[in-house]
Amino acid sequence: MPPRMLPTDVVSAIDAELPWAQNAQVNLNKRGELRFRALEIVPGILRLLDRIPAELLAGLSSEDMRRFVLAETAMREAVERARNSVNSFDWPRLSDNTDCVEALRNVLAKCPDQAPSESSKELTFIQEEAFRATLGVDLGSAERAVPAGEWKTATVLAASVAEALLLWAIQQQSLSDRSAAIRRAPPTEK
């Protein structure tokens, strides 16, 4: 399994290799200067895009997802056309004249680097939204670590979720119930 990439990693790669993409309208000359290197850089950027987990793109608005898919497809087509002809690479644009690399960069900049697990939908018994979201992100990270063979990461994260849920359950009990439970507990040996 290829290593996963985070949206911020891809944005950093675009900024490093194609710095004009931060604002293509302002930096048109710089884009033109890199035209000859496009077939060296753009395929790598596209491979990085392929390694972003789908759940990190799932929160995009329908407009941002539309722009992402159109820009990515246009970039792939531009690479293919340039490889199959003697013409040089032409930087593709969306219908609103936005450069496709700039569009991809801007959409990715909106994406989170962590996403809650699908399993977190079952945590609806936790009323506090921020706590539920935090548990969902940790649970999602643990679930993604298993197929990647990252056993230590999966174990530590799953254990932290279990510990947090146990503490939460204890805190749901009244102080008098907790005190009574402590009094009933057998003494520990030293």
Same domain for 132 and 85, yes or no, is: no
Same domain for 49 and 99, yes or no, is: yes
- Statement: residue 85 has pLDDT above 80: no
3-class secondary structure, 85: coil
pLDDT class of 190 with cuts at 50, 70, 90: confident
Same domain for 137 and 47, yes or no, is: no
Q: Are 161 and 142 within 8 A, CB to CB?
A: yes
pLDDT class of 178 with cuts at 50, 70, 90: confident
Cβ-in-10-Å burial (0-12, 13-18, 19+) of 46 comes to: middle
Q: What local confidence, expressed as pLDDT, does residue 32 receive?
A: 57
**Beta partners for residue 93, in sequence order:** 99
Integer CA distances (angstroms), 41 to 2, 33, 74, in order = 19, 13, 15
pLDDT class of 31 with cuts at 50, 70, 90: low
The DSSP secondary-structure symbol of 123 reads: G
**Alpha carbons 28 and 17: distance in angstroms, whole number:** 15
Torsion of CA 177, 180, 181, 183, to 10 degrees: 160
Same domain for 15 and 72, yes or no, is: yes
Same domain for 123 and 154, yes or no, is: yes
- Residue at which a domain ends, from 86, 109, 132: 109
- pTM value surpassing 0.75: no
Same domain for 90 and 17, yes or no, is: yes
Integer CA distances (angstroms), 116 to 67, 81, 87, 133, 186, in order = 24, 39, 45, 7, 39
- Statement: residue 1 has pLDDT above 60: no
Average pLDDT, the chain: 84
pLDDT over 70 percentage in the chain: 87
Q: Which residue has the higher pLDDT, 72 or 21?
A: 72
Same domain for 18 and 69, yes or no, is: yes
